[in-house]
């Protein structure tokens, strides 16, 4: 991959997390091209070579960018549930051409953000630091990533998974689970792409349980819940240049029968063409089922470039659900839209929650004059 391609992929990782952030001090948003290219690669491609766990659970410092993200629904005793999302991205700045005399010199920058929506209203927090002097970094063993006071310990790279997030305020969330990791390639295959030389690789851990405490404004509350975690990296080699002119929507849904659905929809940003959806269903027994375009129906129930209301039907598993925004407020602080899931599965009423992210040229937040 040439320098330009690497730069775009690095920008992607930041955009993935920060594209939705409104903080005045946030760095300039990367170009839409970079964003779409990278996202399309996430959906359709894998980095050269197969996913190698447990090693890949740790950081990939030679890659251009890396992302760790968890999304959770937290139950708070006697109160409404909280949606919580946390992301940390590491951007590789490249090796300096000559030795640097400053102790502040660094080859990586880490950004973290968290967003929550719950009884206390929406809230956003960010951390940024260079990977130097212990302010931020990504350690290989034990696998850990941190930025300032935020730390995410990743535990062993095989089931049972154990991930622990902590901050200086006292929040401590322990995520556990035993389902196998779902490689990004499996999701890409649902679009009809078996393998590419695209530059991103990663995996999703689904069906995680959460236990711990959440501290907001000095008030600590015990929480339990469900979560998934994803770890993406790339920008090392490969890259197709594909992606500009495409819009990609990701839907990650947790159903209340313990099944997780990870879906993507690729469509042309301009009018015309046919949307191309694909889904992976991880069932309660951790079996992975893939569904391609012709095996499912995924359609937005509202117009605009960034719809949040969707209908998803997968006849093979008698699943038909509709997605509606959890609360538009969350979208003002986080990429994507948190959604409620409601419908039927094999004749039973089913509910759930999830996240919808639409990324591509001309993307605006809902209500921004689409």
Partner 1 sequence: MHWRDRRWWTWGLLALVLAGCDRPGEKAEAGRIAAAEQRPGDPVRGRDALLNRAVVTCGPPHAAYAARAAAAEAPALNPAGRTGRNAELPYMLTAHVDPAGVELVTSNCLGCHAAPLEGELVIGLGNEFLDLTEDPLVAIEALGAGLAPGPERAAWRRWADRVGRVADYMMTDTVGVNSANNLTLALMAHRDPQTLAWSDAPLIAPPPTRPLPVSVPPWWHLAKKHALFYNGEGRGDHVRYMMLASTTCTDSVAEARAIDAWFVDVRAYLATLRPPPYPYPIDTELARVGARVFADRCASCHGTQGADGRYPNKLVALGKVGTDPALARAAFADADRFLDWFHDSFYGELGRSRPGLGYVAPPLDGIWATAPYLHNGAVPTLADLLESGARPAFWRHQRSGQALPEYDTERLGWRYRRLAAGKSAAMSWEERKHIYDTSLHGYGNQGHDFGDRLDPAARRALLEYLKTL
Element (H, E) at 200: strand 200-216
Q: Which of 211, 216, 242, 258 binds partner 1 (CB under 8 A)?
A: 242
- The yes or no reply on residue 281 touching partner 1 (CB under 8 A) is no
Q: Which of 93, 153, 215, 244 binds partner 1 (CB under 8 A)?
A: 244
CB 299 within 8 A of CB 321: no
Please say which residue, 159 or 241, places its beta carbon nearer to partner 1: 241
Distances (CA, A) of 167 to 10, 163, 225, 332: 26, 14, 19, 23
Q: Which of 77, 98, 194, 369 binds partner 1 (CB under 8 A)?
A: 194
316: which 2 tokens?
């093979």
What angle is formed at CA 38 by the lines to CA 313 and CA 28, rounded to 5 degrees? Answer: 115
Give the x/- contact pattern for partner 1 in 24-43, rule: CB under 8 A.
----------------x---
Please say which residue, 81 or 239, places its beta carbon nearer to partner 1: 239
- The yes or no reply on residue 297 touching partner 1 (CB under 8 A) is no
43: which 2 tokens?
């959906």
Of the CA atoms within 13 Å of residue 43, those in its CB half-sphere come to 32
The one segment of 5-13, 76-84, 184-192, 205-213 that binds partner 1 by CB under 8 A = 184-192
CB 173 within 8 A of CB 164: yes
Q: Which of 28, 99, 218, 272 binds partner 1 (CB under 8 A)?
A: 272
Q: For residue 187, say if its preceding peptide bond is cis, omega within 30 degrees of 0.
A: no
- The yes or no reply on residue 121 touching partner 1 (CB under 8 A) is no
Q: How far is CA 204 from the centre of its chain?
A: 9
- The yes or no reply on residue 249 touching partner 1 (CB under 8 A) is no
- Contacting positions for partner 1 (CB under 8 A): 40, 44, 189, 191-194, 197, 240-246, 266, 268, 272-274, 276, 290, 292-294
């Amino acid at each position: 991959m040439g320098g330009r391609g690497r730069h775009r992929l690095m920008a992607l990782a930041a955009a993935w997390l920060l594209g939705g952030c409104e903080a005045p001090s946030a760095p300039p948003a990367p170009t839409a091209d970079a964003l779409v290219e990278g996202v399309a690669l996430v959906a359709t491609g894998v980095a050269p070579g197969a996913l190698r766990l447990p090693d890949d659970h740790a950081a990939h410092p030679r890659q251009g960018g890396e992302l760790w993200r968890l999304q959770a629904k937290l139950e708070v005793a006697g109160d409404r549930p909280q949606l919580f999302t946390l992301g940390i991205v590491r951007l590789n700045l490249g090796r300096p051409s000559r030795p640097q005399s400053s102790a502040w010199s660094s080859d990586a920058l880490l950004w973290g953000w968290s967003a929550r929506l719950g009884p206390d209203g929406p809230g956003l927090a960010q951390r940024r630091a260079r990977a130097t002097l212990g302010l931020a970094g990504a350690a290989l063993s034990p696998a850990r990533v941190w930025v300032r006071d935020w730390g995410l310990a990743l535990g062993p790279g095989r089931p049972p998974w154990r991930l622990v997030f902590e901050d200086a305020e006292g929040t401590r969330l322990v995520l556990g689970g035993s389902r196998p990791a779902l490689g990004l390639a499996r999701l890409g295959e649902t679009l009809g792409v078996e393998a590419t030389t695209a530059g991103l690789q990663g995996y999703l851990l689904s069906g995680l349980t959460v236990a711990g405490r959440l501290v907001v404004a000095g008030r600590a509350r015990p929480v339990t819940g469900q979560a998934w975690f994803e770890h993406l990296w790339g920008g090392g080699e490969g890259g197709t240049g594909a992606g500009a002119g495409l819009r990609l929507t990701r839907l990650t849904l947790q159903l209340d029968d313990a099944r997780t659905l990870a879906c993507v929809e690729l469509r042309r940003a301009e009018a015309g063409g046919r949307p191309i959806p694909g889904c992976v269903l991880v069932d309660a027994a951790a079996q992975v089922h893939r569904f391609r375009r012709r095996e499912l129906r995924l359609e937005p129930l509202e117009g605009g470039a960034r719809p949040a209301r969707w209908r998803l039907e997968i006849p093979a598993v008698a699943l038909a659900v509709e997605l509606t925004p959890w609360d538009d407020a969350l979208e003002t602080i986080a990429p994507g839209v948190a959604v409620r899931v409601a419908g039927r599965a094999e004749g039973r009423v089913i509910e759930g929650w999830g996240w919808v992210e639409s990324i591509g040229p001309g993307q605006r937040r809902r209500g921004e004059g689409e």
